[in-house]
């Protein structure tokens, strides 16, 4: 019996086309809540996005696995957090400056960028009203505040060289324009495991929905991993089931298939 479900946001709950949540998905969330299922977001976004997310989805989740598992909240309690070592970040900054790599620095309640380039502008156009609008700030902040994630605007073929300068981290990617950078031993599956342990629900009683490369490990971790129809081939291969896309009521479709709704 499924007792906890984890949802990615962009491309899963929220359509890249309409930048809204389908009404069928909102209805499904309400019915799951009535049936006693615990519901969580599992996203690359940080807690600073929570007010906007709640307004967009029009739903209060039981908890949040944020910045790809690096900051986890159940109710009003922070149950897990894992930052990137500031000394590691300082080592990669000269390389990013030399190669003119745009990068966003994600704290739990704040996000800033070194500079905006064409790739940043392309991503913001794709995400529309849900896009981050971080502004350039002094990078000395990394010594004064915990950084939980970097969003480096590098393409897949540029990752190998990038990580020569940041060896204790890894990439989780859901868009070809950039990669979320997290500690090597972090990730959504780690955050989900912490949440399940906290609420005393077994891994065998969990389900997850996602569409991006950063969702692969959580789809593999959950008892039932569902890839959206709009997901990439690598994501679909990692899932137990491929549902319809977000614009065609994919979440509702999968929940009905597994008799959860």
Task: State the burial class of residue 102 (Cβ atoms within 10 Å of its Cβ: 0-12, 13-18, 19+).
Answer: buried
Please identify which of the residues 8, 180, 211, 215 carries the catalytic annotation. 8
- Residues listed for the chain: 261
Say how far apart CA 46 and CA 254 lie, in whole Å. Answer: 27
Phi, psi of 74 (to 5 degrees): -125, 120
Only one residue has tokens 């991503």, namely: 123
8 is catalytic: yes
CA-wise closest residue to 79 among 68, 89, 65 = 65
Say how far apart CA 172 and CA 227 lie, in whole Å. Answer: 16
Structure tokens at 188: 């959504």
Please identify every residue annotated as catalytic: 8
């Amino acid at each position: 019996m499924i007792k906890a479900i984890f949802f990615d946001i962009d491309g899963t709950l929220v359509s890249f086309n309409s930048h809204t949540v389908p009404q069928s998905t909102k209805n499904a969330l309400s019915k799951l809540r009535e049936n006693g299922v615990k519901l969580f977001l599992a996203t690359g976004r940080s807690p600073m996005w929570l007010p906007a997310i709640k307004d967009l989805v029009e739903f209060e989740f039981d908890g949040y696995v944020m910045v790809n598992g690096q900051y986890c909240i159940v109710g009003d309690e922070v149950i897990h957090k894992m930052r990137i070592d500031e000394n590691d970040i300082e080592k990669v900054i000269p390389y990013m400056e030399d190669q003119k790599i745009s990068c966003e620095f994600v704290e739990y309640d704040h996000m800033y960028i070194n500079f905006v380039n064409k790739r940043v502008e392309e991503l913001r156009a794709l995400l529309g009203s849900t896009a981050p609008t971080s502004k350039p700030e002094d990078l000395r902040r990394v010594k004064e505040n915990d950084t939980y994630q970097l969003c480096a605007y590098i393409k897949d073929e540029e990752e190998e060289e990038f990580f020569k300068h940041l060896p204790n981290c890894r990439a989780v990617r859901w868009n070809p324009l950039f990669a979320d950078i997290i500690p090597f031993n972090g990730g959504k599956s780690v955050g989900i495991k912490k949440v399940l342990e906290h609420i005393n629900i077994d891994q065998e009683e969990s389900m997850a929905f996602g569409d991006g490369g950063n969702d692969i490990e959580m789809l593999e971790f959950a008892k039932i991993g569902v890839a959206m129809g709009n997901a990439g081939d690598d994501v679909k291969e990692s899932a137990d089931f491929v549902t319809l896309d977000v614009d065609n009521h994919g979440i509702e479709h999968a929940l009905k298939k597994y008799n959860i709704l």
